[in-house]
Amino acid sequence: MKNKITIGIAEDNDIVAETLGGIVRSEDEFELIDITYSGQEAISLIREKNPDVMLLDVVMPAGGGLDVLSSFQGDTTIKTKFIMVSAIGDEKITRDAFAMGAKYYIMKPFDADSVIRRIKNIMKEPEKDGTKEKSQELDKIITNSLVTLGVPAQLNGYKYLRVAIRLVVEDPTVVSAVTKKIYPVIADMYKASAPSVERAIRHAVEVSWNRGNVQEMDRLFGYTINHEKGKPTNSEYIAMIADHIRMDM
């Protein structure tokens, strides 16, 4: 009989914790070890039971998700792989999480299929070194892509696009809910409104479309979009760049 994937959950919101627990219990391949409600409880659970996967909230009492990750950096006795689950899409927090060893970063609200898929994928991945370097490389690739496409760095839409593309690279499912998931996260990060984020990204896309590198445009958008059809939508623009970055990496 195949061994089940053992999973722990650290989430201080009772409703979200039970939702995640229900998702884990719904899969025959998974075994829920325990649900914890603070960073300190999560650390104890990992040390005692060493689950295969830990679903880890970023903000919790008695130590948040980053504190938990920090506790196990360099600890070769712990086999646990970490998936961050959070409503916070702050670029620095995301970057720090990957630098500390997180494998995925799932944004709330999430869907069951996304969580299940991430857990299964994480168990298929070979162990790799250089997580921090990979995160830095992603930042560099996104920046180079936007510069090549002619998005001026001084535009608000430039920094918003950087966050949006990174979110979609990390979780492609969120691109189907740009208005409900991506814009609000970016708006919260930059103390703006979701409509203003949408307008700023729209302006950046239009500037890019009018002044960007034609060859790069054709490479990224040629199969689905052409100049006769007009400019890509925000979600098309973000999705196509993110998709090519995933393939390139």
Per the DSSP assignment, residues forming a β-bridge with 230 are none
Percent of the chain with pLDDT over 70: 86
pLDDT-based confidence at 83, cuts 50/70/90?
A: very high
Look up the pTM and report it: 0.52
Q: Which residue has the higher pLDDT, 69 or 172?
A: 69
pLDDT: which is higher, 230 or 245: 245
Average pLDDT over residues 113-131: 74
**Residue 192 is encoded by which pair of tokens?**
């703006």
Q: What is the pLDDT of residue 223?
A: 47
- The pLDDT assigned to 123 comes to 84
Res. 130: pLDDT tops 70: no
* pLDDT score for 190: 83
pLDDT at 52 over 90: yes
pLDDT band of 113, cuts 50, 70, 90: confident
In angstroms, the CA 29 to CA 5 distance is: 6
Residue 49: count of CB within 10 angstroms of its CB: 12
Q: How much is the pLDDT for 201? A: 95
User: Residue 168 in 3-state DSSP?
Assistant: helix
> What is the rounded average pLDDT for all residues in the chain?
83
Higher pLDDT, 185 or 248: 185
Q: Report pLDDT for 96.
A: 78
Query: pLDDT grade, residue 230 (50/70/90)?
Result: low
Q: Which of 74-78, 151-155, 186-190 has the highest mean pLDDT?
A: 151-155
| Overall average pLDDT of the 100-104 stretch | 84
Residue 189 pLDDT: 80
Task: Record the tokens describing residue 153, joined without a space.
Answer: 């760095």
* pLDDT score, position 7: 96
Burial pattern 90-114, b for ≥16 Cβ within 10 A else e, equals: beebbbbbbbbbbbbbbbbebeeeb
